[in-house]
Every structure is written in C-alpha cells, then in structure tokens.
Amino acid sequence: MNQIRRKSSFWSLAGPLLGYWLIQMAVIVVVELVIAVPTMSDMLRELSSGSVSSQKEFAEFYVSAMETLLRQVMSYQAQITAAAALGTLIMTVILFRKDRQLEVTYNIPQWKKAPVSKYWPVAVMGIVGCIGVTCLSAMVQLVLYDPQYQDATAAVYSSSFPVELICLGIISPVAEEMMFRGVMFRRYRENRGFFYSALWSSVFFALMHTNMIQLVYSFLLGILLSYLYEKFGSVKAPVFLHILLNSGSVVFTETGVFDWLGGGAERMAAAVIVSAFICSAMFVLIQKMRDWGDPNPPEKPKKEQDGSPFDFM
C-alpha cells in the first residue's frame, strides 16, 4: 500500500502543533498591545503631569490602572480569539493543501466524500446538541463552581451579537478544525488506525482549553468530530458540526433561550435528556450510512498503544 514518506515523523506532527501555539501566542500579544496602547498612553500622561506624588498614591494609581487595562483587553476577547484563529488558519490551510498534493504524488487514493444531502443528521445534532451541552455544563457548574470558567465565558460573550457570531461562531471553529482534524488527525491516519488518531488529536485539542469543564468536553467532542471526518470523508463535516455548536451557543445566549432554560432545574434536566435522545438517534443514523472516507485505511499496528504520540511507526 502506498504511503506518504516524511523526513521526520516527529516534526510532521509536533511542528504544526508548535507553530499553531506560537502563532496564537504571538497574535494575542500583538493584538493586546495594540488595544492597550491608548490606555497606557493616558496613564503615562497622567503620571507625567505630577498628579501622583506620594508612594501611596502611586500604588493606588497602579492598581486602578491595571484594572482598567485588564477590563479593556477582556472586552475584546472575541476579537482577539478570532485574530489568533485567522493567524493559524493561514498555516493550516497551506499544510492541508500540501498534504493533499503529497497524496497525489505518492498515488494515494483520495478520500471519497459524502454528498451534501447526507449532512442533515449533522445539522440536527449540532443545533440540538448545543442546547444539551450548554445546559449540562450549567448544571455541572452548580455542583463544581469554577470562577475561571465563569470569568472566561463572561469575557467572551461581552461583545456585540454580530461580532460574537462571526468571531466565535465561524472563524474560531474553522481554524480549530483545520488544525486538529484537517492536519493532526489526517496525518496520524497516514500510518495509524482510527482510534489512535482520534485519541491523540483529541487530546491535543482538549489541551488548548484551560479549565476542566472545557477540557473534558473538548476531548469528547474531538472524538466525535474525528469520527465525522472519517465517516463523511471530508473536513467539511467536523467543521459544519463545530460551527453549529458554537453559533448555536451564541444565538441561544443572545435570544434568551438559555436564560429561560436556566430558570428552573427541571427545564435544564429535560433539555439535557431530550437533547441526548435526539443526538443519539442522529448518531445511529450516521453510523448506518455507508462509509465514505479513506478507501484504503492503513493497517493497524500490532501494538498501536506503544510509542510517542508524535511517532508514526
């Protein structure tokens, strides 16, 4: 069976991941500096005016200035997230296209893609699943309160509806899917089985989220998104579901749906149960579809669990 021969199996996986993190960090730092410059200029101007004379006044001024600066940056979290995502998207699209060209060079059969008409269960799963997951997260927060998660959520949803929808509902999920499914999962699949590839690409996807609730959710979501990629044969499937989940969260938050559901524990519990039932039914329908995806999947190694997650062989 034909396979892509890479110079370094380690760097073919670790390289894109390292580049993704570095680009994100660099873009975030630059954008935050741009946002902070006007506020910092005002602070320096006030200091130079002589209005702060004593050490006590300087300490109070410093604390107040830092709080103002932090609020200023936090109010643009959606835009900062989108800017970082766009920066990584340039890299991942280039890598994705090069990988498809390598497949042609090595005479590797291209993945067959499911027609758009087969995507309707994914659409239902995305819309309904968004409600269930959000309600379940809210119920978990009642038991395991995480102030970091609450602060992060409040900051992200502090922008206007159009900004949230574009930045969080579209740009961010597209960038994440191109990296963790389009590049990471697909490169693992060159020489590994599905479960190994889905597991490790989902682990790295989950590690991009800093709190426990999002980490667990992201890992499980990553497994599902990898399965959709494998089943439908196109990165469009996981991108579509991820966009619906994120966009649905924005729309239902802004329209007050989640506020209404959060008005009673019974409503949230019912929403979780109904959502789980519908999503399970959609998953069964997807399972019963014919397999598109890889026409010649790599043979599963005898000890696939051994070795580094950055090694192919």
Tens digits of residue pLDDT in 95-140: 999 999 999 998 888 889 999 999 999 999 999 999 999 999 888 8
Residue 246 pLDDT level (bands cut at 50, 70, 90): very high
User: Whole-model pTM?
Assistant: 0.88
Q: Mean of the per-residue pLDDT values for the chain?
A: 88
Does the residue 295 lie in any domain? no
SS (H, E, C) the chain: CCCCCCCCHHHHHHHHHHHHHHHHHHHHHHHHHHHHHHHHHHHHHHHHCCCCCCHHHHHHHHHHHHHHHHHHHHCCHHHHHHHHHHHHHHHHHHHHHHHHHHHHHCCCCCCECCCHHHHHHHHHHHHHHHHHHHHHHHHHHHHCCCHHHHHHHHHHCCCCHHHHHHHHHHHHHHHHHHHHHHHHHHHHCCCCCHHHHHHHHHHHHHCCCCCHHHHHHHHHHHHHHHHHHHHHCCCHHHHHHHHHHHHHHHHHHHCCHHHHHCCCHHHHHHHHHHHHHHHHHHHHHHHHCCCCECCCCCCCCCCCCCCCCCCCC
Mean pLDDT of 140-154: 74
Does the residue 4 lie in any domain? no
The pLDDT score that the predictor gives to residue 302 is 47
With beta carbons less than 8 A apart as the criterion, state whether 155 and 64 touch. Answer: no
The pLDDT score that the predictor gives to residue 307 is 58
Q: Which domain holds residue 27?
A: 9-288
Least confident piece of the model among 72-76, 156-160, 308-312: 308-312
Percent of the chain having pLDDT more than 70?
92
Tokens 């602060």 belong to which residue?
151
Does the residue 296 lie in any domain? no
- Write out the two tokens for 9: 């199996």
The pLDDT score that the predictor gives to residue 226 is 98
**What letter represents residue 1's amino acid?**
M
With beta carbons less than 8 A apart as the criterion, state whether 292 and 105 touch. Answer: no
CA angle 185, 188, 193 (to 5 degrees): 100
Does the residue 312 lie in any domain? no
Residue 304 pLDDT level (bands cut at 50, 70, 90): low
Bigger pLDDT: 269 vs 45: 269
What is the total count of domains within the chain? 1
Does the residue 270 lie in any domain? yes
CA angle 124, 210, 69 (to 5 degrees): 110
Does the residue 119 lie in any domain? yes
The pLDDT score that the predictor gives to residue 240 is 98
Least confident piece of the model among 116-125, 152-161, 224-233, 243-252: 152-161
Residue 308 pLDDT level (bands cut at 50, 70, 90): low
Does the residue 1 lie in any domain? no
Inform me whether the pLDDT recorded for 84 exceeds 80.
Answer: yes
Mean pLDDT of 68-72: 82
Inform me whether the pLDDT recorded for 156 exceeds 80.
Answer: no
Does the residue 155 lie in any domain? yes
Nearest CA to 254 out of 174, 176, 156 is that of 156
